[in-house]
Structure 1
Amino acid sequence: MSASLNDRWLRYFNEVYRSGTMRGAADTLGVEASVISRQIQQLEDHLGVKLFDRKGRGIAPTDVAAMLHDFCRERRASEENLLAAIADANAVQTGFVRVVVGEGFLDTVQRAVLDHFCRDYPGVDVHVDLAGAVEALRMIGEDEAHIGIGLNPPAHPSVTFVATCPQPLCVLAAPDHPLARARGEIRLSQVARHRIALMTEGFGLRKLVELAMFSEGVALPPAFTSNSIAMLKRYAAAGLGVTFMSTVAAADEIASGALVAKKAHNPIFKGATATLFTRRHRVLPPSARRLLDVLLSTAFPANGSRRGPP
C-alpha cells in the first residue's frame, strides 16, 4: 500500500459513510452510482481492507471505515486550523462561520450576529441554520458547523458546553385563555385539561416537556404538533390552546400582548437552560472565535438578568 490517499476517494467515501448508500452518495455528488462504487473499491484495494458491508438495500461501515471517517474529519479540521492561523495575520477581516441554533434562540442570535458581528466584520461570510438540539450536536460534533446553541442539549462525547444561561419554560396562552387568568404557578395537571401544542421529537423543548410529564406522572397528548416555534406561538395566540416556551423565545408576542406567559410549577421547566457549544478540542478559526466572543457577551452574559413570567 502506498502512503498517499486520493482526495477523490476520500470525498466519495465520506459521502457514502454519511448517506449510508451508494445511490444516496451518487445523488448528492451528481455522479453515477457505478462511479461511486468503483472509487470505493479502489480505496479498499489501496488500503487492503473492507470498508462497507452490504445490509439489505443499504450498507454498514466497518470498524476500519469508522477509523477512516475520524481521520478525514480530523484532517478537515487540521486544514481549517492551518488556514485560520494564516488568516490571523489579517485579524478577522475575512473567513467563514457557520452557526446552528434552535428556533427559539433565533431573535437572540440575530441581534448578536446582525447588529454586532456582521456590522463590524462585513468581510466574513456567516451562515445561520436552524436545527433541533440533537441535530445541532451532530453537526458540531462532525465539524459541519462551528458554534451551536440549543435548549438543554444532552451530553455528547465530541462537544464542549462553553456557556449556559437560565431559560426557564413557562406556559404560553392567549390573554382570554383560562390559564392566562389563573393565579400562582401553573401545574401540569391544570394544563392537561386544555388543548396543547408541542414541538416534534428531536428538539430540546419537546424532551423537557416529556421529562416534566414523567416527573409528575401527567400525560399531555398534543392536539397540535410542529417543528416550528412560530407555529406553536401562533396556535396559542389564536386561543386554540396553550404551549410551553421561554419568555426569550416569545418576547415579541408577550410584549405586544398577543400572549401571556405564566410560570410553570415543574422544577424541570424552572431549570431549563440555553447552552452554547463547540466541538471538543477544536481550534476555531479567528472569525468563529470572534463571533463566539460576541455571543458570550451579548447572549450569555455572566451575570445577565432574565425577567420571568408573572
Structure 2
Amino acid sequence: MTLSTYPEKSISYLYEVGLHGGIRRAADALGINPSVISRQLSSLERSLQLPLLERRGRNVVLTEAGKMLAEDFAQTSQRRKMLERQLQDLRHMRGGSINLRVGQGMVDDVVRHVVQAFSLAYPGVFVNIMSGDMQTTVMLIAKGEVDMAVSFGPAGPPGVKCLSFQRGPICAIVPPDHPLAGLTAVSASQLTQHRLIAMDEKFGLQRYINAIFKSEGIIFTPSYCCNLFSSAIALTQAGLGISFMTAQSVKAPLQRGELVAVPIDHRIAKESQCHLLRSADHRLTPAAHYLWQLLCQFFTASLEDEV
C-alpha cells in the first residue's frame, strides 16, 4: 500500500491531535467522539506498521513518523486551499481574495474605517468577512483559513503574530431611564442588584467580565446569555437587563440617545484590549498586506485619540 492510498480522513485526525495536543481535545474541536479518532489512528498505525502516537504523562504527542505525516498533511492542505482560492478568484473574476475575521463588537468600525478605504485601493479583491470567538479564530489562522483577524480578549494568544491596542473601558450598557444611567461609573457589587446579560463563554468580552467579578469575589449570575451582540443590545433596549460592551461597540445607539454607557469601575475594565492577529509564517499578498497596514493605522490612531 502506497502513502497516497491511506485514508486522508485518518491523517487529518492525526494532524488535529498534534494541533490540539491530545485526542480528546481534538475530538472536542471537531465535534466528534474521541473513540472515532482512536479507532482511525489505530487502523492507520497497523497499516503503516509504525507507531504514530506516544503517551507522555497525561498527554499524547506525535511520534517522529506521526509528525512527518501531519506536516505533509498540513502542507498539502495549504496548497489545496491556495488552489481553491485561485479558482475562486477566477470564478469571481477578482484580483485575489482575503479572509478577514472580526469580533462582533468591532465590525462597524472595521468596515467603515478600514474596509471602505481598502476597497477604494483594491476594488477587484474579494473580501470574506466573518465573526467569531478568539479561540476558533486562532485555530483558523493556524490552518491558513483566515488571513488576519481583529479580536477582543484579555490576552493576545500564543502562536500568531499579535499587535494589541487599548479598547476600553468596558461599560455597563443601560437604557436612559435605568437607575444606573446617571452614574459616572459603576462597581461590580452595584451591578449584582440588577438583571444582567452575558455573552457566550467563548467571547473575549465575557472573559473580561468573569475576571472582574471573580477578582471581587462575586458570582456573576446573568438572566440572559447571547451569542450575538445585536441580541444583547435588543434585550437592553427592551429594558430586560444590563449588557456589557465598550462604548465603541454601541456608538450609534449612544449617539441617538437610545442607550447609555456607564464605565465599570475596575482596573480590568479600564485596561481591556483588542488584538490584530495573523500567522507568523503565512506570507501575505500585496493586497492583504495593505489591509493589515490599514488595520494597524486605524487602531493606532484610535489609541492616540483616547490619549
Please, what TM-score do these two structures have when normalized by structure 1? 0.76
What is the Cα deviation at residue 110 of structure 1? 1.4
The question of whether the paired residues in 1 share the 8 Å contact of 2:162 and 2:278 is answered with: yes
Please list, as runs of the form range in 1=range in 2, the aligned pairs for 1:92-131 lying within 5 A after superposition: 94-131=95-132
The change in CA–CA distance for 1:294 and 1:43 in structure 2 (over 3 A counts) is farther
Stretches of structure 2 lacking an aligned partner (at least 5 in a row): 17-25, 55-59, 86-93
Per-residue CA shift, 1:133-178, capped at 9, x if unaligned?
2211221222221101111254433212134233321111000000
2-structure distance, mates of 1:285, 1:8: 34
Aligned partner of 1:305 in structure 2 is 305
1-structure distance, mates of 2:287, 2:80: 15
What is the Cα deviation at residue 101 of structure 1? 1.6
1-structure distance, mates of 2:224, 2:242: 10
The change in CA–CA distance for 1:153 and 1:65 in structure 2 (over 3 A counts) is farther
What is the Cα deviation at residue 99 of structure 1? 1.1
Please state whether the residue corresponding to 1:301 is helix, strand or coil.
helix
Aligned partner of 1:87 in structure 2 is none
Please list, as runs of the form range in 1=range in 2, the aligned pairs for 1:6-25 lying within 5 A after superposition: 6=4, 10=8, 13-14=11-12, 17-18=15-16, 20=27
| Number of residue equivalences | 278
One-letter amino acid of the structure 1 residue matched with residue 144 of structure 2: D
The question of whether the paired residues in 2 share the 8 Å contact of 1:108 and 1:299 is answered with: no
What is the Cα deviation at residue 50 of structure 1? 4.7
Aligned partner of 2:182 in structure 1 is 181
Please state whether the residue corresponding to 2:110 is helix, strand or coil.
helix
Please state whether the residue corresponding to 2:294 is helix, strand or coil.
helix
The change in CA–CA distance for 1:288 and 1:153 in structure 2 (over 3 A counts) is farther
2-structure distance, mates of 1:24, 1:234: 31
Percent of pairs identical after alignment?
25
Please list, as runs of the form range in 1=range in 2, the aligned pairs for 1:1-310 lying within 5 A after superposition: 6=4, 10=8, 13-14=11-12, 17-18=15-16, 20=27, 45=47, 48-51=49-52, 62-63=62-63, 64-65=65-66, 67-74=68-75, 76-77=77-78, 94-152=95-153, 154-182=155-183, 184-301=184-301, 304-306=304-306
Per-residue CA shift, 1:200-257, capped at 9, x if unaligned?
1111011000100111112220001011111111111111111110011111111111
What is the Cα deviation at residue 125 of structure 1? 1.7
1-structure distance, mates of 2:164, 2:4: 40
What is the Cα deviation at residue 188 of structure 1? 0.7
The change in CA–CA distance for 1:179 and 1:103 in structure 2 (over 3 A counts) is same
The question of whether the paired residues in 1 share the 8 Å contact of 2:114 and 2:298 is answered with: no
2-structure distance, mates of 1:157, 1:246: 24
Stretches of structure 1 lacking an aligned partner (at least 5 in a row): 26-32, 54-59, 85-92
Supply the RMSD in Å over aligned alpha carbons: 3.6
The change in CA–CA distance for 1:237 and 1:120 in structure 2 (over 3 A counts) is same
Per-residue CA shift, 1:8-37, capped at 9, x if unaligned?
85577326755859x989xxxxxxx9xxx7
2-structure distance, mates of 1:284, 1:7: 33
The change in CA–CA distance for 1:127 and 1:212 in structure 2 (over 3 A counts) is same
Aligned partner of 1:88 in structure 2 is none
1-structure distance, mates of 2:296, 2:5: 37
The change in CA–CA distance for 1:221 and 1:24 in structure 2 (over 3 A counts) is closer
Aligned partner of 1:90 in structure 2 is none
The change in CA–CA distance for 1:220 and 1:279 in structure 2 (over 3 A counts) is same
1-structure distance, mates of 2:190, 2:295: 37
Aligned partner of 1:28 in structure 2 is none
The change in CA–CA distance for 1:6 and 1:108 in structure 2 (over 3 A counts) is farther
1-structure distance, mates of 2:168, 2:31: 39
The question of whether the paired residues in 1 share the 8 Å contact of 2:150 and 2:275 is answered with: yes
The question of whether the paired residues in 2 share the 8 Å contact of 1:109 and 1:299 is answered with: no
